[in-house]
Amino acid sequence: MNRQSPPRQLLTPITLGERFFPDGAPCGFYPDPLGRLHPNVTSILSHRWPFKIEDWAKYEPAGFDCKAAGEAAAKAGTAVHGVLEQFLLGEDISGYDKDLATWVEPLLASVSRAKAVVGVELPLRNEIDGMRYAGSCDAVLEAPDGELVVVDFKTRRDVSYKKDEPNRPNLKYLAKQKTQISTYVFTINSIYADQLRKPISRGTLLFAVPGLEKPMPVTIAGDELNRYIQEWQDCLSSFYKTHGEAIEQAQQSYEANRMEAAA
């Protein structure tokens, strides 16, 4: 089905260097134009919610290859994000891999209803009490009701082995994802305020679930949004308390390498 991309009223993005992962560092970093390193948001969140493949394996059948499944899911997720990014930027997606359709089509049906596209893969960097961080969000859209919303696309696996649960997001286990998108809302409102016609009022995790014609939205707004923004600030503080020395060492090494390259 051919769908029309919503009109674009894109924010002018800030400048952010490519993410890199120094050997031995506790996180990835994005450099800003001044050469200051910003730990990436996902690494900071993993400090609070570490992923352990052995915990995942407990919920799978004996012999299930979690590593292979994880790699396949990551590959599919990256490809789906790429198609959505092209669509929102008004590019031709007619030739996308139709093996992805079970995820892509429901997401396209949802985002094509937006009144406008405000940001796509929008770069973010900020500093709170000397604690820097950076990342990017999938999309900022003007919803049909006129509100601005940050959207994060999520892809569910195409097979569920849990007989007592449907293959859909379980709200009990979304603290990390809710904190992440709340961080994006807070950060965009902070650093793009002069470009926004109004503050962003909510964030939505948009889950594409194979077998369902519509994606499943999980929306965070109001008091819940504020609680998760506070959760982010607590997580950031804990991360710097634990890794502040390593972050400073990475900064010093980065600056030394820059000076050597410029000499």
pLDDT of residue 111: 96
Please state the pTM of the whole predicted model: 0.92
**H-helix or E-strand spanning residue 232:** helix 222-262
Closest CA to 154 of 57, 41, 50, 76: 76
User: Which CATH fold topology does 29-262 show?
Assistant: Lambda Exonuclease; Chain A (3.90.320)
Distance CA 232, CA 210 (A): 31
Q: Helix, strand or coil for residue 117?
A: strand
Domain borders along the chain are 29-262
Q: Each residue's pLDDT tens digit in the chain (263 positions)?
A: 668 899 999 999 999 999 999 999 999 999 999 999 999 999 999 999 988 888 777 777 788 888 887 888 889 899 999 999 999 999 999 999 999 999 999 999 999 999 999 999 999 999 999 999 999 999 999 999 999 999 999 987 644 434 444 556 666 678 999 999 999 999 999 999 999 999 999 999 999 888 788 898 999 999 999 999 999 999 999 999 999 999 999 999 999 998 888 87
pLDDT of residue 162: 47
Beta-bridge partner residues of 135: 124
